[in-house]
Structure 1
Amino acid sequence: MDIQPFKIAISDASIDDLKQRLARTRWLETIDCLGWREGTDAAFLKRLVSYWQHTFDWRRQETKLNQLPQFTAQIDQQRVHFVHQKGCGPAPMPLVLTHGWPGSFVEMAEIVPMLADPARYGGDPYDAFDVVVPSLPGYGFSSAPTQTGIGSAQTADYWAKLMRGLGYEKFAAQGGDIGAGVSSWLARNYPERIIGVHLNFIPGSYRPYLGEGATPVCAEEQDFLDKVSAWAASEGAYGHQQGTRPQSLAVGLNDSPAGLAAWITEKFQAWSDCHGDLEQGIGLDALLTDISVYWFTQSIGSSFRMYVEGRAMPLSFSQGQHVQPPLGVALFPAELPMPPRSWVERSFSVQRWTTMSRGGHFAALEYPEDLAKEIRDFFRPLRENAR
């Protein structure tokens, strides 16, 4: 496997072009009282775009990100960008962390050192991990797929090859959003290599067996299904669009930074535990660093492919199938609809199920210290299996 060191180096010309486009934004006429009800609040977006153009310092964020040890690996036809932070402890456990949409590896920047060097943050050095954070195919600095079929299942195959190329035959997996799907596919398809899986979201494509011979859906599970249906009707248009006709949308978002910011910001505001105040909950710099990665790499269109492929190949199970590696789940209060434990236990070997006190869909970005502790606690008793 060809592995090369990598540093982010966006050209001055690209930064100048971004600022010029922001200055030429054509603003919509809107109804002032709408707020966030029909998408990103117009007043907030204007302030965000102004901050992006005049105040946000990409070079400062680029320098911070480049403090993480980054590499690229050629895996089959795919170039995969990844962070690889070696752990500080007597026996670090290999751990692959996978992000989702509209996130990126940027989401993991704060949690990586907490997992790699827990003693530095008041933890136990025996809980250290060798942390690998790949960018999904078509996201950020990973190359865009040149053929169909590169979804969560194929990505799990890439991650398995990447970890073997890094010298890790057995490893742990963690993820949320699409990263939860990739981690689940790893557990399903590579049970002999996966020490355990920790998720802070249950993938929307997950379908346990509900056919003849299955335990009937209980009241709690039916309530979850009803909530998912209601959420899809009121909030799920983006996913349907990105999974069915993504490229028409992508043309506009790839050409307009204000449009891209509106599309992505809407989800950070709606899915994070910010109590309506995104600026205080996540912060403009963190938000714009993530959006800027999409902009500079022109990856918004290729990021949508995961939605297309997820519809084509959902994470479904047939009668008798059961994922063997142990599973831990963290439920954050502002997360999208999450199923009850019984629903997940239809297909997974659940060993830990924790209700968190704060946080939302972007847990590693919102409250990295809380998620890091939960990950360490889950994997601590599994470390014997890593030997």
Structure 2
Amino acid sequence: MTLEKLQYPSRSDDLVLTRSRTIGTALSSSPTRRGFFAGSVAALSIGLLVFASPGYAQTVTTSNTDAVVVAAAPATGQAAEDRSIRPFTVHVSRAALDDLRRRIAATRWPDKETVADQSQGAQLAKLQELVRYWGSGYDWHKAEAKLNALPQFMTNIDGLDIYFIHVRSRHKNALPVIITHGWPGSVLELIKVIGPLTDPTAHGGSAEDAFDVVIPSVPGYGFSSKPTGAGWDPDHIARAWAELMKRLGYTRYVAQGGDWGAPISSAMARQAPAGLLGIHLNLPATVPPEVAAALAGGGPAPAGLSEKEKAVFDALVTYAKKGNSAYFVMMTARPQTIGYGVTDSPAFLAAWMLVHPGFAQWTYGGDPEKSPTKDEVLDDITLYWLTNSATSAGRLYWENGGRGSVISAASQKTADISLPVAITVFPEDVYRPPETWARRAYRNLIYFHEVDRGGHFAAWEQPQLFAEEIRAAFRPLR
């Protein structure tokens, strides 16, 4: 193995990677992507809403102790695929953190918004308070310690190094589950559920409900490699996840996802790789075609909707009118343009991530007892900053552009899913589907439950409840 410098804009001296022998996979441009702008602008405007673990043969990774350890796509021209699973440790240099604080201190702030609410975006006073704390009182090393306390690994799949956390349960016959995050989340939003899932007897459950937990970082996110060509859409990621579970030796397992994790898990279910028993979603693709068409065209609700269905339709209309999909539209259309800001300015990165409607109810740490806390959100933002991954992460929206809405049943081809599907609806999520739409979308729906608390980042906000839902959803598949 060789140790080479990874050139990142402005922060290259603090980032080092370890490469291993793999085969570089050429990725072709998606034909559906080319036709994206031929679609309806109205449809796009509603964005998201319509349209240490034993048993490994390991190759030890070396690292520079004064660097952020990250992964990148291997050099081309290598002859053989490296299927090894390599231990991974995070270490951030002092220089990288000093650079972050320097940039925060040099922030050039805009004038104050002219309204009393968040309708113009992140409010100046709240963001200034958060960012100033980020530069003076926040401690990244605590997040680093949390990650390094877990078994972390790398493996190369289709030319990209994929980072993942893998925690095996101490209980016999634990069911493996692969859990996928989305934007603007990361593996950090999911680590609170590891304990309740792997050790249920310590968290109010029974040994029979135990899971082995695999939490990968989506390509382009966090410590996973950044794709250097087009083609890493949810379908490709789904195939990579199936390969990952195969490499880990699992012959039967389940998958879970919210946000981007939902279309990725759904793609896995459509592909039905050997061993996949079923999926659980907390952002399911259930919007019926006629409802999606009405939303895209700005027309009235379709005839025949029940009272509850009409309420969901109205909520989607309101969501779009309030501009909640602005981030989705921009990242789908021009992620590179956003990238210049999120790469250069910590304040812009924080503002851009917090514009996500999943943070609409977040109080900027005003309630220290409410999860996620101020430090936990800054852990997530800082991970994006230190790995310089906000731009590459945003390209997943571009990759998905021609494939339509992540909550549209037709766009996500739910009719092609025959594997068991389970759904949990959290009351503060950005989309709360009625059960009638869920049963229409998924022919093998085995579980549907509306809970009384939690939002878009359910595993982060309500880890115990989230774990209980996973246990209940997959109990029939054991």
Alignment of 1:32-71 (within 5 A): 33-71=115-153
Q: State the 1:306 CA deviation.
A: 1.4
Q: 1:24/1:276 Cα in 2 relative to 1: closer, same or farther (>3 Å)?
A: closer
Q: State the 1:41 CA deviation.
A: 1.8
Task: For residue 365 of structure 1, give the secondary structure of its aligned residue in structure 2.
Answer: helix
Which among 64, 67, 85 is matched to residue 167 of structure 2?
85
1:31 and 1:79 map into 2 onto residues whose CA distance is: 42
Check conservation: 1:271, 1:362, Cα contact below 8 A: no
Q: State the 1:233 CA deviation.
A: 3.2
Alignment partner, residue 340 of structure 1: 434
Do structure 1's residue 369 and structure 2's residue 464 form an aligned pair?
Answer: yes
Alignment partner, residue 324 of structure 1: 418
Alignment partner, residue 227 of structure 1: 315
Alignment partner, residue 336 of structure 2: 247
Do structure 1's residue 188 and structure 2's residue 270 form an aligned pair?
Answer: yes
2:384 and 2:364 map into 1 onto residues whose CA distance is: 26
Q: State the 1:199 CA deviation.
A: 1.1
2:379 and 2:414 map into 1 onto residues whose CA distance is: 44
Q: 1:86/1:276 Cα in 2 relative to 1: closer, same or farther (>3 Å)?
A: closer
Q: 1:228/1:371 Cα in 2 relative to 1: closer, same or farther (>3 Å)?
A: same
* Amino acid across the alignment from 2:380: D
2:150 and 2:174 map into 1 onto residues whose CA distance is: 18
Task: For residue 302 of structure 1, give the secondary structure of its aligned residue in structure 2.
Answer: helix
Q: State the 1:2 CA deviation.
A: 2.2
Alignment of 1:20-169 (within 5 A): 20-31=102-113, 33-169=115-251
Q: 1:228/1:74 Cα in 2 relative to 1: closer, same or farther (>3 Å)?
A: same
Runs ≥4 in structure 1, deviation > 4 angstroms? Answer: 206-211, 220-223, 271-280, 315-320
**Unmatched 5+ stretches in structure 1:** none
TM-score scaled by length of structure 1: 0.91
Q: 1:192/1:303 Cα in 2 relative to 1: closer, same or farther (>3 Å)?
A: same
* Amino acid across the alignment from 1:346: R
Q: 1:20/1:264 Cα in 2 relative to 1: closer, same or farther (>3 Å)?
A: same
2:99 and 2:395 map into 1 onto residues whose CA distance is: 26
1:376 and 1:13 map into 2 onto residues whose CA distance is: 43
* Amino acid across the alignment from 1:12: R
Task: For residue 198 of structure 1, give the secondary structure of its aligned residue in structure 2.
Answer: strand
Do structure 1's residue 237 and structure 2's residue 326 form an aligned pair?
Answer: yes
Check conservation: 1:138, 1:299, Cα contact below 8 A: yes
2:243 and 2:414 map into 1 onto residues whose CA distance is: 28
Task: For residue 53 of structure 1, give the secondary structure of its aligned residue in structure 2.
Answer: helix
Which among 255, 279, 285 is matched to residue 173 of structure 1?
255
Higher percent of residues as helix: 1
Q: 1:248/1:275 Cα in 2 relative to 1: closer, same or farther (>3 Å)?
A: closer
Q: State the 1:286 CA deviation.
A: 0.3
1:37 and 1:237 map into 2 onto residues whose CA distance is: 11
Q: 1:276/1:229 Cα in 2 relative to 1: closer, same or farther (>3 Å)?
A: farther
Check conservation: 1:102, 1:267, Cα contact below 8 A: yes
2:146 and 2:199 map into 1 onto residues whose CA distance is: 18
Q: 1:272/1:136 Cα in 2 relative to 1: closer, same or farther (>3 Å)?
A: farther
Give a deviation string over 1:144-181, Cα, whole Å, max 9, x none.
Answer: 11111211111101100000011112210111110011
Aligned length: 378
Check conservation: 1:151, 1:305, Cα contact below 8 A: no
2:358 and 2:274 map into 1 onto residues whose CA distance is: 39
Task: For residue 304 of structure 1, give the secondary structure of its aligned residue in structure 2.
Answer: helix
Q: State the 1:381 CA deviation.
A: 2.0
* Amino acid across the alignment from 1:289: D
Do structure 1's residue 283 and structure 2's residue 378 form an aligned pair?
Answer: no
Check conservation: 1:271, 1:336, Cα contact below 8 A: no
Task: For residue 156 of structure 2, give the secondary structure of its aligned residue in structure 1.
Answer: strand
2:290 and 2:275 map into 1 onto residues whose CA distance is: 28
Between stretches 319-328 and 134-143, larger displacement belongs to 319-328
Do structure 1's residue 12 and structure 2's residue 100 form an aligned pair?
Answer: no
* Amino acid across the alignment from 1:305: R
1:64 and 1:375 map into 2 onto residues whose CA distance is: 23
1:179 and 1:10 map into 2 onto residues whose CA distance is: 27
* Amino acid across the alignment from 1:382: L
Check conservation: 2:235, 2:267, Cα contact below 8 A: yes
Q: 1:260/1:240 Cα in 2 relative to 1: closer, same or farther (>3 Å)?
A: same
2:432 and 2:452 map into 1 onto residues whose CA distance is: 15
2:377 and 2:106 map into 1 onto residues whose CA distance is: 21
Q: State the 1:268 CA deviation.
A: 6.6
Task: For residue 325 of structure 1, give the secondary structure of its aligned residue in structure 2.
Answer: coil
* Amino acid across the alignment from 1:258: A
1:279 and 1:175 map into 2 onto residues whose CA distance is: 27
Which among 298, 305, 308 is matched to residue 398 of structure 2?
308
2:432 and 2:359 map into 1 onto residues whose CA distance is: 16
Q: State the 1:34 CA deviation.
A: 2.8
1:179 and 1:339 map into 2 onto residues whose CA distance is: 17
Give a deviation string over 1:299-339, Cα, whole Å, max 9, x none.
Answer: 00011111112222246649993422211111111101222
Kindly, what percent of the aligned residue pairs are identical? Answer: 39
* Amino acid across the alignment from 1:295: W
Check conservation: 2:358, 2:456, Cα contact below 8 A: no
Between stretches 158-167 and 168-177, larger displacement belongs to 168-177
* Amino acid across the alignment from 2:421: L
Between stretches 371-380 and 268-277, larger displacement belongs to 268-277
Q: State the 1:192 CA deviation.
A: 4.7
1:85 and 1:195 map into 2 onto residues whose CA distance is: 20
Q: 1:70/1:338 Cα in 2 relative to 1: closer, same or farther (>3 Å)?
A: same
Q: 1:198/1:264 Cα in 2 relative to 1: closer, same or farther (>3 Å)?
A: same
**Unmatched 5+ stretches in structure 2:** 1-82, 292-301
Check conservation: 2:426, 2:450, Cα contact below 8 A: yes
* Amino acid across the alignment from 1:167: G
